[in-house]
Structure 1
Amino acid sequence: MDCFQMRKIATSVINFLGTGILLFNVSCNQEHAFDCAKSTGEILQVEKVVTPFHYVILEDNIDLVVKNGTDNVATVEAGKNLMPKIALQSQGDTLIISNRNTCNWLRNFKHRITVSLTLPEDAVSLIHRGYGTINSSDVLQVDNLTIYSLDAGGNIDLQLNAGIVIAYSNSHSFIQLNGRADNLDIWMHKGIGRVFAEKLKAINCHVKHEGSNEIRIFPVQEGNVEIFASGNVVYYSEPLTMSSNIKGTGKLIKK
């Protein structure tokens, strides 16, 4: 038996096993089978009332657009056939946004699933665990904003007028921050993610860098930088004081 025949047999076996597994899964889970078969459908916008919250957890392939306001209504934009399983679940002061449809990888998301949400102005934490994006529709007025990118695949881009901003990432996401803040604290906990905050004028700025990519900042009065790995920290300002503790191969660079 030559190599060509062996490859042909191997391919036939793989195709047979794949078909068998697919049929088994479909027969064992009719709900998932229906999800796989259904199309996206007509694009709709549906308003959903949410209870007051201070934590937002974003999961799956949903894009989140945040804004200021006083209403407790979220607007969901998605296909008609997908809409029933776009979940906005409240647990205490936490709002969890998720897509419970299965077989999403089979669909063409030319029209992405988007949730528009009004944030409280006192304190809010955005916890990103999915692969959608988080953007602001305008300048966010917020006293205390915490951003977590936890093994996430989606990027974050925010315009801010804030008191305290804390950004934590252990993922490969790209976080971009613009505007102004009294205090900015960035912790890149490993990973290859980037934080570009050179357009966020922060009176005081602290960076703890344990990753391998670049962090950019614009401290106005005081900057404090700790580098423990290979990633660089670049600052684009002339702060009154700049201190550093460099124990990795990364560098503190003035632009």
Structure 2
Amino acid sequence: MKKLFYIAFAFCLILSGCNNEDSWDCLKSLGDDASEIRYPGNFNQIFLTDKVDMDYRYSDSCYVEVFFGENIIHHIQTRVDGNSLFIANTATCNWVRTLKKIPLVVVYAPTLAYLENTSSATITMRDTLVSHDFLYEQRGSNGNAHLLLKTDSARVYVHTGYTGIYVSGRSTYSGLYNASVGKLDASLLNSDITIVNNSSLQDLPCVANSYLFGEINLSGNILYSGDPENIDTSINGSGRVLPH
């Protein structure tokens, strides 16, 4: 009798923990692999949260393709509000399912102006993101982000988190800021004018072809390549601005 009581108690506990999910969804497995193409509306900004992988690919129009288990794929949110796409996993019972599979959202768009990453997964860019002005901001995330850019102005601001961020491509102007535990590596971003604020313990590699401004506030170095004609610095920590 006690065994039945404990089973019933555990069953009720599982159902009560599924606030945003249909309670019976908590009892479902992920199911077979599935994909959905969705047309949420036009966007040029993305807000990425939860453990959802994202890949950018170029297209003349805006749409997304979602990959996940067929029983839970409807809980991967891809919602447009204004000109912003919000990507999230709204399922609340992931703790009773396998963690081996991570949902993937492939984003198709002509360009992006802004990407905010608070997720705990991986960002990739299969195609080069061509943009006049692009800003990436990270807050409290972990995982990896690989940004492939062709821009007039590229700004990568890493406020907090553990994510390793790797930026490559070409930009006339680059603004780089790292105050996180993770690494920001822009050694493959060919940039003419580069403004760097390294407020991290990590070294920050970058490229500056004509001008470099380097601010250091902790022990992380700024390692630059290229042959800038002018270099200005503001050193407030033990790190140094060094050729690399």
TM-score normalised over the length of structure 1:
0.85
CA RMSD of aligned residues (A): 2.2
Distance 1:186 1:33 in 2: 45
CA shift, 1:38, in A, is 1.8
2:136 alignment partner, SS class? strand
Amino acid at match of 2:227: E
2:210 alignment partner, SS class? strand
1:5-44 to structure 2, matched below 5 A, reads 25-26=13-14, 28-29=16-17, 31=21, 34-44=24-34
Could you say which residue in structure 1 is the equivalent of 2:180?
Answer: 191
1:198-237 to structure 2, matched below 5 A, reads 198-237=187-226
Higher helix share: 1
Identity of aligned residues (%): 22
Query: In the comparison of the two structures, how many residue pairs are matched?
Result: 236
Could you say which residue in structure 2 is the equivalent of 1:10?
Answer: none
8 Å contact from structure 2 (residues 15, 26) kept in 1: no
2:120 alignment partner, SS class? coil
Amino acid at match of 2:98: N
* Cα distance change of structure 1 residues 69 and 193 upon mapping to structure 2, 3 Å threshold: same
Q: Name which of structure 1's ranges 96-105 and 199-208 shifts more when overlaid on structure 2.
A: 96-105
Distance 1:246 1:116 in 2: 41
8 Å contact from structure 1 (residues 26, 32) kept in 2: no
Pair member with larger Rg: 1
Distance 2:189 2:241 in 1: 18
Is 2:146 the partner of 1:163? Answer: no
8 Å contact from structure 2 (residues 224, 242) kept in 1: yes
8 Å contact from structure 1 (residues 175, 196) kept in 2: yes
Could you say which residue in structure 1 is the equivalent of 2:134?
Answer: 145
Could you say which residue in structure 2 is the equivalent of 1:45?
Answer: 35
Question: Which 4+ runs in 1 deviate beyond 6 A?
Answer: 18-21
1:147 alignment partner, SS class? strand
Q: Which ranges of structure 1 fall in alignment gaps of 5 or more residues?
A: 1-17
Q: Which ranges of structure 2 fall in alignment gaps of 5 or more residues?
A: 1-5
TM-score normalised over the length of structure 2:
0.89
